[in-house]
Structure formats: C-alpha cells, structure tokens
Amino acid sequence: MGEVAGVQGEDQSQYDEALATLRAAMDEVNADPDGEAPLAALREALDALPDHAPLLAEDPGALELRLRAELVLARAQLYQGDRYAAAATLDACLERAGGIPLDSARLGPRLGALVDERREVQAARGEARLRVECAEPCRVLIDERNYGSVERSGQARELSLPLGEHRVWLAPLEPLEPLEGKAEPLRVVVQLDSTDDAPTLSFPVPSPGDGPATDGAPVPAPTVGAERRGALGLRSPPMVEADRDRLAPRWLEITGIAIGGAELIAGATLWALDSRCPGGGDVTDVEACPQLYDTKTAGIVLSTLGLAAVATSGALLGVDTSRARRAALAPTVGPRSVGLSVGGRF
C-alpha cells in the first residue's frame, strides 16, 4: 500500500484486525440473521472503520468489503422486519458507495427492490456542493474515500456530494514527518442539507482572529484525544412509502367494517324478530297469528359474520394506521434550508 500522506505511525496491525473483525461479524450475521448480538457486533465493526480512514481510502478491497457488510446489515434488518432501519442503512451505504458498482438484481427481490427505491429517492434529492479551501497543499478524504488534493497553497476545490452527513478528513499533502510546521489533520462531520449553496470548509482551521472556517458556520478546531465514532445510520430513518407495507388497501378495510356493521345490525334484527307474529298480533292467538317468524338461526349466522368482518377489518385498519403514523414521523427527503452544520471529530 505504501506510505499514506497525513498519517504518522498508523498501526497496520490494528487496521488488519479491524477488517478481520468485520469479516467475522458478517459471517455471524449470515449464520444468525435474526439475532440481536450478531447485528450489534456488525454495527460496531462498521463503526470502527473510520478510525483508519487514510489506510481505508487506499484499499479498494476493504472499501468493497465495507459495502458488502452494509448490505448484509440491511438484509438482516429486513429479515427482522425493520424496513425503516434497512432503508437508513442503504441510504448511508449509497451515499458512500462512490464508484463501486451495486447490482440490485443480484441482491434478491426484497433487498434489490429497496436498493432501487432508495436510489430513486437519492437521485430525486439532487446533490450538494462543498468547497474545500486549503492555505497549504492538502489531501481530501470524504467518507473514507480519496477525493484528490489541493496541490497549491491558497487554492480551493468544489466537490459534489449527496445530500446528508459526510465525514471529512483534511491533512497536509506531504506525510507528517517531521511534524514541525505542519497543521494537524482536520477531521469533522458535516451535514449538507441544501442543493443551492456551496459552503466552504477551510484547512488549516483558522484561528479565532482569522475569521470563520465556513460560510456562516465556524468549524471548531478538533481537540486531541479519542476520536468519536459515528453510528452507521447517521440520519434519522427516511420516510418510505407506507402504502407498500399496508396489510390491505384502506378502501377494502373501511368497506369491510361497513359491510360487517350492516350484517351485525341485520342479524340482531332477525334474532329479535324470532318467534314473533308477522302482523304484530298476539302469539298465543292461533287464529289471529297462525304463523310465527323463524329467524333465530339466520340472525345468529349474520351476527357472527358481521362481528367477524368488523373485528378483522378494524384490526387491519388499526395496524396500517399505526404504520402510516410511524412513517409520517420520519423526516421528509426534500432539501432543507441550512447549508452546512458541523458535528465535531469522528
């Protein structure tokens, strides 16, 4: 792999161990997709990879391995019935996929259909722009992928990125050896929410007297210490089409309740008329009332059918309404007004 610019003393063994842990977690989830512990272990293994961003960016095989691991996670979430979590996982996965091809036809019908759906949502949202300005030559990594470099001091590059949250790693172009006179790498999480603006991220981070590091959103200088690991699902679960998950069409559920109610009323009426005189006369007067209503059996049958229809249709409507409310609580996929927000180190 060679020497990685912007990294001093990167522990190759720790990086290899992180990849081995990821492979083992994938095997555990494939063996037990319904288990919570394997899923938690896979999330933790994925969350550990950004700690090795410079090495990961130069390792196409590891980037492809991470993509496969995210697909394994999404498939397990679908298997457990959590479509919202699976959609969030795929959104983050597609935002970081870069140039790696993703053939949804080979992923199975359920996962492949969800991948296609999230692709369409991402395409409809459009792309954001991020301007990277470097006072000295710097290297740019975004989501552990190499986005090139700014090779001359004082120059800037404008990058197109999917809307959403991205991990940005900026470092001097030359290896940090020696450290004297070199800026510390800048590692921040940015949230791009607008397709109209092109906020600027400056490197090195300007001192308080030099002005803001971004347009309208100053970037604090990262503190030295343990690096924050971001969760895999960085954004709230996206809104997905609730109608696709309905147990039955809404019109059919409402119709079932109405028909069942009518049957219940008719059955109760027939049951009440049983053994009564058709003309309303005295049932004990055989001459005035030679024949009585015999409607008890029909009343019981209609009442039972009506009650069953109301209960079944009502239960289906209740479940589907609850699902629709859960979907409505998820954020919309349209661009928002804020251009850039910064979430600290990762």
Q: Which residues contact 77 (CB under 8 A, 6 or more apart)?
A: 39, 83, 85, 86, 89
Q: 260 near 310, Cβ under 8 Å?
A: yes
Pairing of strands 200-203, 127-134: parallel
Residue spans per domain, the chain: 12-124, 127-234+332-342, 244-328
pTM higher than the cut 0.85: no
Q: Along the 346 residues of the chain, how does pLDDT read in single tens digits?
A: 444 444 444 468 899 999 999 999 999 999 998 889 999 999 999 999 998 988 999 999 999 999 999 999 999 999 988 999 999 999 988 887 765 667 777 888 889 899 899 888 888 888 889 999 998 889 999 999 998 888 888 888 899 888 888 899 998 887 544 445 566 888 989 888 888 878 888 888 765 555 444 444 444 433 322 333 333 223 333 333 434 456 777 777 788 898 989 988 998 988 887 777 776 666 565 666 667 777 888 889 888 998 998 899 888 888 877 766 554 434 333 333 334 444 544 5
pLDDT at 175: 56
Q: 98 near 59, Cβ under 8 Å?
A: no
How far is Cα 91 from Cα 95, in angstroms, rounded to an integer? Answer: 6
Q: 201 near 343, Cβ under 8 Å?
A: no
Pairing of strands 127-134, 145-150: unpaired
- What's the farthest any 2 CA atoms get from each other in the chain? 120
E runs forming strands in the chain: 127-134, 138-142, 145-150, 156-162, 164-172, 186-192, 200-203, 340-342
Q: 284 near 231, Cβ under 8 Å?
A: no
